[in-house]
Structure 1
Amino acid sequence: MNSINLRNKFQYFPFHLVDPSPWPILVSFSLLSMTIGAVMYMHGFANGGLLLNLGFILTASGMALWFRDVITEGTLLGNHTKEVKNGLIIGVVLFIVSEVFAFLSIFWAFFHSSLTPAIEIGGSWPPLGITPLDAFAIPLLNTFLLLSSGAFVTYGHHALIAGNRKGAIIGTFITIILAVIFTALQYYEYSEAAFTMSDGVYGSAFYASTGLHGLHVIVGTIFILVGFIRIINYHLTDTHHQGHEAGILYWHFVDIVWLFLFLAVYFWGGA
């Protein structure tokens, strides 16, 4: 009898000791390659873009395979006890807290420049020569879309808890559709904007904040999409859906950040 079987037979604790996995070291080196590639690309070195794309592909692939194993452990092998589930949720909450501080740094840079505009940008905000986007056009529409998606994903979550499979599927599916429309509208907004990221501190602050949020919307959409597929495949039950619940927490975080972005960057910052 090997050590793994002995461990499973005589386990006197509620935690899950994972089997050896190649994905952590793969993702680590993939992230390192992506970072080096990004620096090379931004400084004009040869093959920097190639290394950046390769690192991104390897990182995404490694994460997908890693999460696949986690889903297998929890859904098919039954290794996720109550304590393991609580640990996973705590891990997601701590991850969201780290994301809060990432956005805090972006908002800090934005308010540092907008509250006391330097003379180099005309002593005004928006700076002279910048035509800001209309907050009551696409940004306002996107606000309704994102808040509506948060309501629908909450409806789908409560339907799942209540055992209403049809309601869970419909609520989650509508959330995904609204998220895709939001991303498409933001792409259109970027393509029609009268300024770019290289247009001084305003362009940098605008695209850094809204672009980072847009990236989070894409990640959150993938998160919710995986939950939707798992609902379709009967992976989730009223008491066993921690992965989908983590995605919902992440999506509500995205909603809240957008409200601050709309009020600060679009409405107040563009007035």
Structure 2
Amino acid sequence: MTHQIEKYFVPEPSRYPIFGSVALLLMAFGAVFWMNKVSAGPMILALGFATLVYMLFGWFGQVIRESEGGDYGKNVDVSFRWSMGWFIFSEVMFFAGFFGALFYVRVIALPDLSSLDHQQFLWGDFSAQWPIKVSPGSIVDPFTPIGAWGIPAINTLLLLTSGATLTWAHWGLINNNRGQLKLGLFLTIALGLTFLGLQILEYAHAYSELNLRLSSGIFGSTFFMLTGFHGLHVTIGATMLIVILLRVMKGHFKPDHHFAFEAVAWYWHFVDVVWLFLFVVVYWL
């Protein structure tokens, strides 16, 4: 008895990894130059970003053509699933580091600073409270933290609803209901973009009305680090969802062949879960 061995598709050598590396290098140099007020900084940053966009369009376009051309078999599908799983795991580690910094400050550093030894030698009359609104020598200007039950609560509802609409769109794809698939994707994208719009309003309110800034001590640093990094991920996720919707409009994806949709759905649900932790730890507690 013989078993037919499925061939594993091996793509041709590609120039896109080089373009991606150069793009990231240019963006890093451009950002550093810009922050140090070097006149060429913004131009280098823009060139790096344009190169990155070119790389993404070219590389993902090539992958889409190969997928729609039937080049990918089950082995490639398994490779994609493992790759996406490890990518999301790396993102989990990113956020774990950021949440770990916040945990260290609130659970370890604050009680330690409020001990009698530190009050005597480092910071007199310090009390362990969060957020820290005072600093030695008034280094940090007074600010007001953002409450949980305003825009953050609305954004929580938006992201949870977007997870439901994306799952509903997936059901439409599995059941070959293209109308449900398109509507579910459209609603998910709309909810994600609304989330980003409200976060921009929240940042503007924080700076103009609450005097909460990136320079507002450790609270401002951790707040904008966590919410900003999450907002970047929502932006990336919304962009990928738009690409998926455009592909759906072109007739791509079948009930038994749609891993690109699943990969973006995994990513979006990951972003939802991170926001729940962020809402509780950053805004609520």
Assess same fold via TM > 0.5. Answer: yes
Counterparts of 1:210 and 1:61 in 2: how far apart (Å)?
28
| Aligned residue in 1 for 2:78 | 86
1:34 aligns to 2:27 (yes or no): yes
The within-5 A match list for 1:41-120 is 41-75=34-68, 77-115=69-107, 116-117=109-110, 118=113
Aligned-residue sequence identity (percent) comes to 39
Gaps of at least 5 residues in structure 1 are 1-10
Q: How does 1:62-211 map to 2 (within 5 A)?
A: 62-75=55-68, 77-115=69-107, 116-117=109-110, 118=113, 123-128=128-133, 129-193=142-206, 194=210, 195-211=212-228
Residue 252 of structure 1 is matched in structure 2 by 269
Q: Distance in 1 between matches of 2:33 and 2:39?
A: 8
What's the offset of the Cα at 1:134?
1.3
Q: Structure 1: which amino acid aligns with 2:246?
A: I
1:6 maps to which residue? none
Residue in structure 2 matched with residue 230 of structure 1 by the alignment:
247
Q: 2:6 touches 2:73 (CA, 8 Å); kept in 1?
A: no
Equivalent-residue separation in structure 2 for 1:170 and 1:24 (angstroms)? 35
- Counterpart residue type for residue 102 of structure 1: F
| Contact 2:19 2:55 (8 Å CA) reproduced | yes
Partner residue of 2:136? none
Q: Which residue of 1 aligns with 2:117?
A: none
SS of the aligned residue for 2:131 comes to coil
Residue 167 of structure 1 and its aligned partner are, at CA, apart by 0.9
Kindly indicate whether the alpha-carbon contact (under 8 Å) linking 1:152 and 1:175 is maintained by their aligned counterparts in 2. yes
Q: TM-score, length-normalised on structure 2?
A: 0.86
Residue equivalent to 2:138: none
Q: CA deviation at 1:21?
A: 1.9
* Residue equivalent to 1:8: none
The RMSD of aligned alpha carbons is: 1.6
Equivalent-residue separation in structure 2 for 1:25 and 1:55 (angstroms): 12
Rg (Cα) greater in structure: 2
How many pairs were matched up? 257
Tell me what 2:282 maps to.
Answer: 265
Deviates more, 1:247-256 or 1:234-243: 234-243
CA distance in 1 between partners of 2:237 and 2:279 (Å)? 19
The 2-side partners of 1:178 and 1:59 are apart by 26
Alignment equivalent of 1:17, drawn from 1, 10, 15: 10
